[in-house]
Chain A
């Protein structure tokens, strides 16, 4: 069975601090995809990144970076120099096989960035 664990329920940081959101997953599949989504107060889930199980390269996109480590089944997300607009709930998700299958989500981490 697939499972995604986001152990941090809520995190609060001061603006400009760096923050890392943890994600640990479980799957028996050798081929799978990992995702991060952002859910701002407006409620609509926004796609941030997709990673397949064969690509362990870290990725950076502006202030966002992702660290994928198969050895520890983790796919962590770091925001550098956080801003108030980063305040949201962030979800990590897993999809088996081709990745075009239903997502299994973690419970999310609520990030509050204080000015």
Chain B
């Protein structure tokens, strides 16, 4: 079984543009998490899903951010009207409900110019 995959790995965009990232979790993992990591910091929680249901959103997640997991498999994270402060590594993780280790993907590095 492959691990968590994320696409794209890198994204450079101009301020004001919209971007969308995709995360494919480990097969059969019920829970899927999105985190954001900036330089020199630990990952910060954004939102998470159990199957297709979005269970929680962080205060960090402004209304420009939206996430979906339509069929309980892959997830997308969209950022509208990007700002330079959105530049970060966006990490996805997944876990089984019965086991609470979260396994992380390689991340998508976003640079907003």
Contacts and interface: CB of A to CB of B under 8 A. Distances in A.
Interface in A79-106: 91, 93, 95, 98-106
B41 A100 contact: no
A102 B48 contact: yes
Contacts of B91: 45
B31 interface: yes
B65 interface: no
Contacts of A106: 42
A5 B71 CA distance: 37
A98 B43 contact: no
B42 A98 contact: no
B80 to A, nearest CB: 23
Contact of B101 (A47, A91, A98, A104): A47
B67 interface: no
Interface string A35-62: 1010000111111001000000000000
Size class of the A contact interface (CB-based, 8 Å): 20 to 34
A4 B100 CA distance: 18
Classify the interface of chain B: helix, strand, loop or mixed.
strand
Given A102-B33, A103-B45, A95 B100 contact: yes
B84 interface: no
Contact of A102 (B41, B56, B89, B106): B56
Contact of B100 (A37, A42, A44, A50): A50
Interface residues of B, number: 25
Contact of A50 (B101, B105, B107): B101
A50 B103 CA distance: 12
Contacts of A100: 31, 95, 97, 100
Contact of A104 (B40, B45, B102): B45
A33 interface: yes
B106 A44 contact: yes
Closest 10 CB pairs of A and B: A105-B42, A99-B100, A102-B45, A45-B104, A100-B100, A44-B106, A47-B101, A105-B43, A107-B42, A91-B42
Interface of A: 4, 33, 35, 37, 42-47, 50, 91, 93, 95, 98-108
